[in-house]
Structure 1
Amino acid sequence: MPLRVGYVREHFSSPLLQFAEADGGKTFTLVECPSGTGQLIQRLTNDEIDVAIALTDPLISGIAKGSDAYKLVGTYVTTPLNWAVITGKDSKFQQISELEGTTLGISRLGSGSQTMAYVMALQQGWSTDNLDFRVNNDIRGLIDSVNDGSTSAFMWEWFTTKPWADAGEVRFIGSVPTPWPSWMIAAHPTRASPDALRAFLDELTKYVRAFDSQERRAHEDVEFIKVKFGYPEEDVKAWLNTVGYTHDCSVISSETISETLSVLEKAGFIKSPEGGFDVKQFVNPKIATLTP
């Protein structure tokens, strides 16, 4: 049976989409999760997918909070994700500092939009004890919420949201880059065979390396993203200048896990157990290689 691979249909997914087109459904099928990593984790939990390519922080925080629905099996994007802080077109908010004590929009509980709100609060020196959130499910719900005033702002990846800002539906009032590499790969610990997972990661590595090459970045990557996602060429080139992919999808840095845990704990999003976290507990050693 083909692996069920959950993903978010964004420009970051380009190497995965190229792999899927070549594979033709023989070894895996794609399951789109438009609400983001919170939805990916929910679908892993509900046996709707076997593998998720998702944001680093919600994956790690989910395991830290006790989820046994998945373990980390690989790395995808090694550079930070730049989260835009977004408010309504006519809202009163002009800068991040004005958002303290307001209701922030998130896609789902445990999503990247929520964990990054804690990081933003930490950077701003706000108390994280009483952050107020409203769940709006997807990008359309989030945009509507900042324009109807039910939320003050929300956070989403910069280039994904830029078309709505360019169209005048929302305004950017700042950005918060992740303090960690942004995308990792997780899988249910027993549903898929180790052989199938390793084969998937090995083949994905080939497509990631090709996409990340300087030769492909100069033209083919730009054209693929323009056609697939409809982004202006200048936005595609600007994004490509900021992003880097792993050259081995089955390798995980223990430093990435420990540093992400440290920031999330400082932000008050997770609590360390007595004796601290064991990084090895976050990784499936049958699939991934854990490096310093």
Structure 2
Amino acid sequence: MSLRVGYVREHFSSPLLQYAEQDQGKTFTLVECPSGTGQLISRLTENEIDVAIALTDPLISGIAKGSKAYRLVGSYVSTPLNWAVITGVDSKYKSIQDLQDTPIGISRHGSGSQTMAYVMALQQGWDTSKLQFKVNNDIRGLIDSVNDGSTSAFMWEWFTTKPFADAGEVHFIGSVPTPWPSWLIAAHPERAAAETLRTFLQTLSTYVRAFDAPEQRAGADVQFIREKFGYSEADIKAWLETVAYPADCAAIPRKVLTDTLGVLQKAGAIQAEAYNVEDFVDSAIVKLI
């Protein structure tokens, strides 16, 4: 049986999409999750997908909070994610400092948009226990919420939302990069056969390395992203200068787990207690390095 692989259709997914085009559904099928990592985790929990390529922080915080629906099995993007802080076009909120004690829009509880709001609050010195959240499901709901005034702002990846800012639908008031590499791979601990997962990760690594090669970045990557996502060449090239992928998708640096847990604890997103990083991974699949 082929793997059901959940993903978010963004430019980061380009190597995965290239793999899927060649695979043609023989070994895995893609399941789009437009609401982001919160939806990916929900679908893992509800047996709608077997594997999720998702944001580092919600995956780690979910396990820290007791989820048994998945374990980490690999790495996908090794550089930080730059989150734009976004308000409505006529918003009275002109800076990040203005957002204290206001309702922040998120896609779902447990999503990257929520955990990064904690990180933003930590950076600003706010009491994270006083954060207010309003669930708006997806990017369109989030944009509507900042323009109708039901939320003050929301956070989403910079280049994904830049076309909405360029079109005059939203306004950027700042950005907050993640203090960790941005994407990991998780899988249900029982639904996917170990050998099938290993083959998937090994093959994905070849596509990731090809995408990350300098000659591909200079030409073929730009063309692929432009055709798939419609971004301007300038925006694509600017993004490519900021992103890097791991050489081996079946390895996770131990430091990624310890550093992320440390920041999430300081931000108040998870309980302040001792965590064993071995409990976060499926050691039959992934190497901690």
SS, match of residue 173 in structure 1: strand
Q: Which residue of 1 aligns with 2:5?
A: 5
Q: Deviations over 1:206-262 (max 9, x none)?
A: 000000000100000000000000000000000000000000000011110010000
Counterpart CA distance in 2 for 1:190 and 1:287 is 12
Q: Which residue of 2 aligns with 1:34?
A: 34
Q: Deviations over 1:154-178 (max 9, x none)?
A: 0000000000000000000000000
SS, match of residue 159 in structure 2: helix
Counterpart CA distance in 2 for 1:129 and 1:135 is 17
SS, match of residue 129 in structure 1: helix
Q: Which residue of 2 aligns with 1:270?
A: 270
Counterpart CA distance in 2 for 1:252 and 1:241 is 23
SS, match of residue 86 in structure 1: strand
1:221 correspondence with 2:221:
yes
Deviation for aligned residue 1:112? 0.1
Counterpart CA distance in 2 for 1:11 and 1:163 is 13
Counterpart CA distance in 2 for 1:272 and 1:246 is 30
Q: Which residue of 2 aligns with 1:107?
A: 107
Alignment of 1:113-192 (within 5 A): 113-192=113-192
SS, match of residue 284 in structure 1: coil
Deviation for aligned residue 1:130? 1.4
Deviation for aligned residue 1:279? 0.5
Counterpart CA distance in 2 for 1:80 and 1:116 is 12
Counterpart CA distance in 1 for 2:23 and 2:203 is 10
Segments of structure 2 that go 5 or more residues without pairing to the other structure are: none
Counterpart CA distance in 2 for 1:92 and 1:192 is 49
Q: Which residue of 2 aligns with 1:233?
A: 233
Letter in 2 for 1:41: I
SS, match of residue 249 in structure 1: coil
1:281 correspondence with 2:279:
yes
Segments of structure 1 that go 5 or more residues without pairing to the other structure are: none
1:18 correspondence with 2:18:
yes
Alignment of 1:48-67 (within 5 A): 48-67=48-67
Counterpart CA distance in 1 for 2:131 and 2:123 is 14
Instruction: Report the TM-score, using the length of structure 1 for normalisation.
Output: 0.99
RMSD: 0.4
Give the percent of matched residue pairs that are identical in Structure 1 and Structure 2.
72
SS, match of residue 174 in structure 1: strand
Counterpart CA distance in 1 for 2:89 and 2:159 is 18
Q: Deviations over 1:152-201 (max 9, x none)?
A: 00000000000000000000000000000000000000100000000000
Q: Which residue of 2 aligns with 1:290?
A: 288
Letter in 1 for 2:149: G
Counterpart CA distance in 1 for 2:67 and 2:156 is 24
SS, match of residue 90 in structure 2: coil
Q: Which residue of 2 aligns with 1:203?
A: 203
Instruction: Report the TM-score, using the length of structure 2 for normalisation.
Output: 1.00
SS, match of residue 224 in structure 1: helix
Counterpart CA distance in 2 for 1:181 and 1:203 is 21
Letter in 1 for 2:94: Q
Q: Which residue of 2 aligns with 1:81?
A: 81
Deviation for aligned residue 1:272? 3.2
Counterpart CA distance in 2 for 1:193 and 1:169 is 45
Counterpart CA distance in 1 for 2:6 and 2:272 is 29
Deviation for aligned residue 1:51? 0.1
Q: Which residue of 1 aligns with 2:261?
A: 261
Letter in 2 for 1:65: K
SS, match of residue 196 in structure 2: helix
Counterpart CA distance in 2 for 1:79 and 1:262 is 18
